[in-house]
Amino acid sequence: MSTKVVIGAQWGDEGKGKTIDILAAKSDVVVRTSGGNNAGHTIEADGITYKLHLMPSGILNPGTLNIIGMGVVVDPKVLLEEIDGMECQGISTKNLKIDARAHVIMPYHIALDGLSEAARGKGDIGTTKKGIGPCYMDKTERSGIRMCDLINPEKFKTMVHENLKIKNKIIELVYGGTPFDENEIIEEYSAYAKRLAPYVTDTTPILYDSIKAQKEVLFEGAQGILLDIDLGTYPYVTSSHPISGGVCVGSGIGPTMIDECIGILKGYTTRVGNGPFPTELDDEIGEKIRQNGHEFGTTTGRPRRTGWFDAVIAKYAVRTNSLTSIVLNKIDPLGGIGKIKICTAYERNGVLINDFPPTLEELAECKPVYEELDGWTEDISDIKDFRLLPPAVQKYVHRIEELCGCKISSIGVGPGRDQNIDL
């Protein structure tokens, strides 16, 4: 039995939900540790498509305990909608636990997300406008409301009052927005609190005891490493830690309790939102990949920007997350697009760059160095054995493995549970 961390190793949407769902069948516990409902994790099971935002992706497996750790920011309304949606489809949520320390996304966070983005004008980040950044700001500013406060009626009232004194001033006087009514918020959120209270607990002893009891524990990453507040393409990032190191602070365990770190990559690269993207394809091939891979945001519906596989990013992911293996999803959408390119390094002012640069200024001067490989035209979505894949697919996967310097354990050839091929 082991503890496995599963993280997105690009800019998110690498197929983490699918991979977690596959691994959850063999897991006792699945834990979300960062982000909030900016995440959109898709699972296709038994002909039904589930889009999960806050609910850990182990929920479809009846025997799995699902934990929302203290690193997650929780929008109670969204979580209740997900709980109701699951229960309506006959999926029990009795195995869900929310850590008492997790911070709550309040309506003023959502408003401030929109207002601050609008104020940035052309320099906007392209956030999901779900209130993520403003909620984490309150957390680090030490004025945030946590799940334990939400379910404590007297404390909640006082905290809403104190917060609104400041927030309403910022909303009105800085941004010219509409202030919030204290009583309306208290009434609405007290109803959410009543319903969510049975799920709220201290999850840390449960997790610790599960690991000590040699149970199979899976940490479900959200977003991707290039959206990390420290290691990502700052400021075009999210406000949390999607890297493997974020798992410890987001769940309350120490690093010695982690056995494996699995990085999820796509066979190409995508990004939603603004910011640099060295291998971006702003042409017909990029459009073809978008259509073949249905690259439209799970949370916002925005078309995802598409580009070639970038091995500089993949190597950065391997190094900064101590990856022990890679799952390479979405190989199938590359079929029928002709020759395929891999970015093996960057070139900057005549110098070859192998390490992903720390500043946007350096990154802007980097030009991708490409290697061209043969493509394929066959439909590979029903193939179950790696050796039966067209030689060009096998060569593509092996070349990526070689460039990353990390074992690829499985590849994805379709969105379904049965569409991953183990290597």
Active site residues: 13, 41
Q: For residue 163, what are its two tokens? A: 């917060």
Between helices 107-120 and 132-141, what is the axis angle to 10°? 110
What residues numbered 281-320 form the site for ligand IMO, per CB under 6 A? 298
DSSP strand E in 196-285: where? 200-201, 217-220, 260-266, 269-271
128 interface partner picked from ligand IMO, ligand GDP, Mg ion, none, CB below 5 to 8 A per type:
ligand IMO
Question: Can you tell me which residue has the tokens 């996304």?
Answer: 105
Q: Are 10 and 265 in contact, with CB atoms under 8 Å apart?
A: yes
Report the nearest approach of ligand GDP to the CB of residue 412 (Å).
Answer: 2
If the CB atoms of residues 100 and 167 are measured against ligand IMO, the closer one turns out to be 167
Tell me how far apart the terminal alpha carbons of the chain are, to the nearest angstrom. 21
Residue 45: burial class (beta carbons within 10 Å; 0-12, 13-18, 19+): middle
If the CB atoms of residues 20 and 253 are measured against ligand GDP, the closer one turns out to be 20
Per rule CB under 6 A, is residue 330 in the interface with ligand GDP? yes
324 interface partner picked from Mg ion, ligand IMO, ligand GDP, none, CB below 5 to 8 A per type:
none
Per rule CB under 6 A, is residue 38 in the interface with ligand IMO? yes
Q: Which listed residue (9, 10, 11, 15) binds ligand GDP by CB under 6 A?
A: 15
Produce one character per residue of 364-397: b if its CB has 16 or more CB atoms within 10 Å, e if not: eebebbeeebebbeeebeebeeeeebbebbbebb
Q: Which listed residue (210, 223, 321, 410) binds ligand IMO by CB under 6 A?
A: 223
Q: Are 52 and 35 in contact, with CB atoms under 8 Å apart?
A: no
If the CB atoms of residues 12 and 134 are measured against ligand GDP, the closer one turns out to be 12
CA dist 398 and 394 (Å) reads: 6
For residue 11, which of 317, 375, 328, 346 has the smallest C-alpha distance?
Answer: 317
Which region among 7-15, 84-92, 96-104, 154-162 touches ligand IMO (by CB under 6 A)?
7-15
- Greatest CA separation found in the chain? 66
Whole-number Cα distances in Å, 216 to 26, 208, 290, 354: 7, 12, 35, 36
Which region among 188-196, 201-209, 314-322, 408-416 touches ligand GDP (by CB under 6 A)?
408-416
Per rule CB under 6 A, is residue 74 in the interface with ligand IMO? no
Q: Which listed residue (27, 61, 95, 238) binds ligand IMO by CB under 6 A?
A: 238
Which residues are at the interface with Mg ion (CB under 5 A)?
A: 13, 40, 298
Which residues are at the interface with ligand GDP (CB under 6 A)?
A: 8, 12-18, 40-42, 44, 293-294, 298, 329-330, 332-333, 412-415, 419
Which residues are at the interface with ligand IMO (CB under 6 A)?
A: 8, 11-13, 38-41, 125-128, 130, 132-133, 222-224, 227, 238-239, 272-273, 298
